[in-house]
Amino acid sequence: ATPTALLAATGRGARLGILVSGAPALERLRKVDTVVLDKTGTLTTGRMNVTAVTVSADADADADARAGAGGHARVGAAEALRLAAAVEQGSEHPLARAIVAHARRQADGHPLPRPVRFAAVPGSGVSALVDGEEVAVTRPGELGGIPDDLREAVRTAETAGHTAVLVRVGGAPRAVISVGDTLRPDAYRAVEHLRRLGLRPVLATGDREATARAIAGQLGITEIHAEALPEDKAALVTTLQGHGSRVAVVGDGVNDAAALAAADLGIAMGGGTDVAIGAADVTLVREDIQALPDAVRLARHTLATIR
Ligand code: ADP
Ligand code: MG
């Protein structure tokens, strides 16, 4: 490959909003046959909105009992939202941003409490002490252990393609916050285009099966890996490679970094976290997923010309 031709390709890529780390990355991009796509922030805009806050009647009864012992008199929807948002102030996750923004709007200028001992588990959730109470906001996990009304709220959210997170206060499940996301306007076309280029699209998400299905269904993606923790996404890449596939991963989050590094080619969304961009070989600067098939075409064309 002549340096001039590669430089030209890199320049053309840059104009298309595709930043390639170098010639080896272009070469690997040309050979990719499978594309593992993250959901939140990659196929969807990651600009999320709180669509519902459901508190459990059971939790209220329990809280009333504890009130006598100096606990909260009641965990109403506003209080559940306030506690959850206090914790989420420490997270960069799109879910966290939605919950904090929603709580601020509801709080009428009242500042959110400061969390202490904040901890985040990528792909799982966050926790902290708020007003002396242990508050955790996480994926719902096994639905068997939560009250009926919260389980119902989770199902309703997921059927709509929304994400439901569970709020625990003092370890007890108190509320479900439903957060809606929107597909990127060009996602359908981009996935269709990838298929026409002979690439096999695979959806990998930390989100739950029902939510993943609702989103994948809108894109015609049939291969889904849901409830994937960061290490599961990386293991999926290794498994696909073990079956002889050349795998590109497209992601935006801290939770995608391991998979991006394991892939034959890591592709980060430009608006993604620094960790994702640092782990990737290619960055899609403009926030459009259509840049991905464009990048594949560019790589194939460039290297065909050079040879
Ligand atoms: P995705 O693969 O869709 O980008 P993640 O792997 O980042 O999703 O997260 C997987 C799941 O973990 C989310 O659907 C959510 O249930 C939970 N989660 C992750 N981060 C947070 C957070 N900051 N607050 C609440 N829940 C979170
Ligand atoms: Mg993501």
CA 43 to ligand 2 centroid distance, Å:
9
Tokens (6 digits) for 205:
């998400």
Residues 157 and 88 in one domain: yes
Nearest CA to ligand 1 atom 21: 125
Ligand 1 binding site (Cβ under 6 Å of any ligand atom): 38-41, 88, 91, 93, 95-96, 123-126, 137-139, 163, 165, 205-207, 253, 255
d(CA 165, CA 141): 9
Is residue 70 pLDDT above 50, yes or no? no
Q: Which of 156, 180, 204 is the last residue of a domain?
A: 180
d(CA 203, CA 221): 7
Domain hosting residue 107, numbered range: 49-180
d(CA 207, CA 153): 16
Percent residues over pLDDT 90 in the chain: 69
Q: Which of 126, 156, 180 is the last residue of a domain?
A: 180
Q: Please give the pLDDT value at position 12.
A: 84
Q: Which of 128, 148, 180 is the last residue of a domain?
A: 180
CA 25 to ligand 2 centroid distance, Å:
22
In the annotation, is 148 catalytic?
no
- Options 33, 38, 232, 264, the catalytic residue: 38
Relative to the CA of 124, which ligand 1 atom is closest?
12
Nearest CA to ligand 1 atom 7: 123
d(CA 64, CA 287): 48
CA nearest neighbour of 151 among 230, 77, 56, 268: 56
The count of domains in the chain is 2
Burial category of 100 from C-beta neighbours within 10 Å (exposed 0-12, middle 13-18, buried 19 and up): buried
Residues 166 and 221 in one domain: no
Relative to the CA of 233, which ligand 1 atom is closest?
2
Tokens (6 digits) for 1:
């490959």
CA 172 to ligand 2 centroid distance, Å:
28
Residues 93 and 240 in one domain: no
Q: Please give the pLDDT value at position 4.
A: 77
Residue at 145: amino acid letter: G
pLDDT tens digits, 130-149 = 999 999 999 998 888 899 99
pLDDT tens digits, 158-200 = 999 999 999 999 999 999 999 998 899 999 999 999 999 999 9
Is the model more confident about 198 or about 288? 198
Residues 39 and 188 in one domain: yes
Name the pTM for this structure.
0.81
Predicted-assembly ipTM surpassing the 0.90 threshold: yes
Residues 229 and 301 in one domain: yes
Residues 173 and 225 in one domain: no
Answer whether 245's CB lies under 8 Å from 34's CB.
yes
Nearest CA to ligand 1 atom 4: 40
d(CA 53, CA 44): 22
